[in-house]
Amino acid sequence: MYFFVVVLMMSVAYGPKSANATETLKIGALVPLSGPVGLIGMIWVRGFELGVDYINEHGGVTIDGRPFKLKLLAADTQGSADAARSAALKQIHSDKVDLVIGGLMEPAKEAINRVAAQAGVLFIASNANIPGHPADVSPKHPFQVRLAVSHDLTHPVDMRFLQKNYPEAKRIAVSAPDFGYEPMIADLQKHAQKHGLEIVYTEKWQWGTTDFIPVMTKVLSSQPDVIFAMVSGQAQYQLQAARQLGFKGPFISNAPLAAEVFLDVVGKDFCDKLIVNAINTVQTPGKIAEIIDRWNQKYKDPFISDAVPAFDVIWVTAQALNKAQSTDARKVISTFENMVRYGDLITAHGAGKMGEKERFGVNRVLVRPIPVTHVLKGQIVSFDLVTPE
C-alpha cells in the first residue's frame, strides 16, 4: 500500500504536464528606477509591461512547442555600474530569470554585460545612448543583442529632410550633452557635408542642465541657420530657450520625444519649423495607436512616447523566441543574427530587421523605420516613417 502511495505522489510530481498548463518565462528588467533618470526608467518598465500584457493576451511565446507566459521582474540599477551589477546578479542567480532586458545607461549596460556573459544569459539592451560605446553590442559581448535603433541612423534622414524642405539652411549648430557624443557629432558632420550643410558650432552642456538659456546664448552666437539637439530628453527646453532668445530657424531633435511633448512644454507659437525623429499622437501608425490606448487604459499618467520602443523590445524578443523555439542565449542570438531582411521582424514602427554588422562586427542591432514628424506653426503637418538605407 505504501509503495502505491509513493508511486502516485511521484507520478503527480514528475508526470507529464497537462497540455493546458502554461509555464512562465521570466524576464528581468534592469533599469534605473531612482536617481536622475529614475522617471525614464519607470516609463520604460511601463512600456515593457504593456508588451508583456500584449504577448500574454496573444497566447504568450512558444518554446519547444510549449506555451509560456511572460513574467516581468523589474529591478533598479540606479543608472550606476555597482547597483546594476547587484541587481543583475540577484535577477539571474536568485530570481532565476531566463533573460534580462534594459540597461539604459552605459555604465549599467557594461555591468549587466559582464554578469549576463558569466551566467550565459541573454541580455537584450533596450537602447544605446552612444552607438559604438564599449558597452554596446560587439563581438566582445557575445550575449548581448540591442533592440533599439542607433540614434545616428537619423542623421542621413534629417539632413535629407533639411536639404529638401529648408534648402536655404546651411549652417548647423549642435547642442549635445557632454558625455561621449563626439563620434555621433562627427557622423552628423559627415552626413551634413554630403547634403551641402556644415556644422559651424558645437555646444556640449553639462549633464543635469535645466536652464538652457546660457547654452542657447552660446549656440546662437554662432548665428546658425539650424539647431540640432542631439539625443536629449531635454530637447523641448532647448527649443524653448532658443525661441525665447529669438531664433526662428529649423530646430531638429533626434531623441524619441513625441511632438506633443514640444507642443505641451514650448507652446504652439514656438513650435514652428520643428523636426522630431519621434512619433506624434495625431498621425499614428496602427500599432503605436494601440500602444497609446493600452497605456491610457492601464495608467492614469499621460502617455509618454518612450513606452513605444520599450513595447517593441518585448514584442520583438517574443518574435525571436518563437522562431528560435528556445530560451538558450546562443540559439536566440543566432536566430536574431539571421533575421536580416526587412520584414523578418515586425516593430511598432513597421518592418524591421537585425543589422549593422559593418559597424559593430555583429548583426545584433535592430534596424527599423525612422519616424520624422514635421511641425509648422504649432501644427503637425507631416509624418513619415523612413526606412534607413
Partner 1 sequence: LSTAWGMLVQAAANGLAMGGLYILIALGITLLLSIMRILQLAHGEIYMLGAYLVYSLTAAFGINVFPAIAISMIFMAAVGLVLERFLFRPCRGELAPAVGVSIGLTLILQSLAVSTFGLAEKAIPKLAHGSIVFLSVAVPKDRVIATFIAGLLAVMLYLFLNRTRYGQAMVASAQNPEGALLRGISPHLMASLAMMIACGLAAAGGAMAGSIWMLTPTMGVLPLVKGLTIIVIGGMGSLTGAIIGGVILGLIDGIIPVFFGAVVTSIAPLLIVVAIIMLKPQGLFGHE
Rounded Cα distance between 220 and 239, Å, is 12
269 Cβ contact list (under 8 Å, min separation 6): 378
213 binds partner 1 (CB under 8 A): yes
Each residue 23-62 as x (binds partner 1 by CB under 8 A) or -, in order, gives ---------------xx--x--------------------
Rounded Cα distance between 337 and 332, Å, is 9
Indicate the residue among 237 and 311 with the shorter CB distance to partner 1: 237
Rounded Cα distance between 276 and 105, Å, is 22
Question: At its nearest, how many Å lie between partner 1 and the CB of residue 62?
Answer: 37
Residue type, 371: P
Rounded Cα distance between 190 and 2, Å, is 80
Each residue 301-330 as x (binds partner 1 by CB under 8 A) or -, in order, gives x--x--------------------------
281 binds partner 1 (CB under 8 A): no
Q: ∠ at Cα 12 (8, 14), nearest 5°?
A: 110
Each residue 115-154 as x (binds partner 1 by CB under 8 A) or -, in order, gives ----------------------------------------
Indicate the residue among 59 and 214 with the shorter CB distance to partner 1: 214
Strand order through the sheet with 274-276: 198-205, 171-177, 226-229, 251-253, 274-276, 370-376, 379-386
Single residue of 120, 267, 343, 361 touching partner 1 by CB under 8 A: 267
Interface region with partner 1, contact rule CB under 8 A, candidates 66-74, 136-144, 208-216, 349-357: 208-216
C-alpha closest to that of 352 among 304, 320, 324, 382:
320
Indicate the residue among 299 and 342 with the shorter CB distance to partner 1: 299
Rounded Cα distance between 366 and 348, Å, is 12
Indicate the residue among 47 and 131 with the shorter CB distance to partner 1: 47
Grid cell locating 53? 500584457
193 binds partner 1 (CB under 8 A): no
Indicate the residue among 221 and 379 with the shorter CB distance to partner 1: 221
CB-side neighbour CA atoms (13 Å) of 279: 22
Footprint on residues 237-266 left by partner 1 (CB under 8 A)? 237, 241, 244-246, 264-265
Question: At its nearest, how many Å lie between partner 1 and the CB of residue 303?
Answer: 11
Instruction: Please give the helix or strand (H or E) that residue 63 lies within, else none.
Output: strand 61-63
Rounded Cα distance between 123 and 167, Å, is 43
Q: What are the residues binding partner 1 (CB under 8 A)?
A: 38-39, 42, 205-206, 209-211, 213-215, 217-218, 221, 237, 241, 244-246, 264-265, 267, 269-270, 301, 304
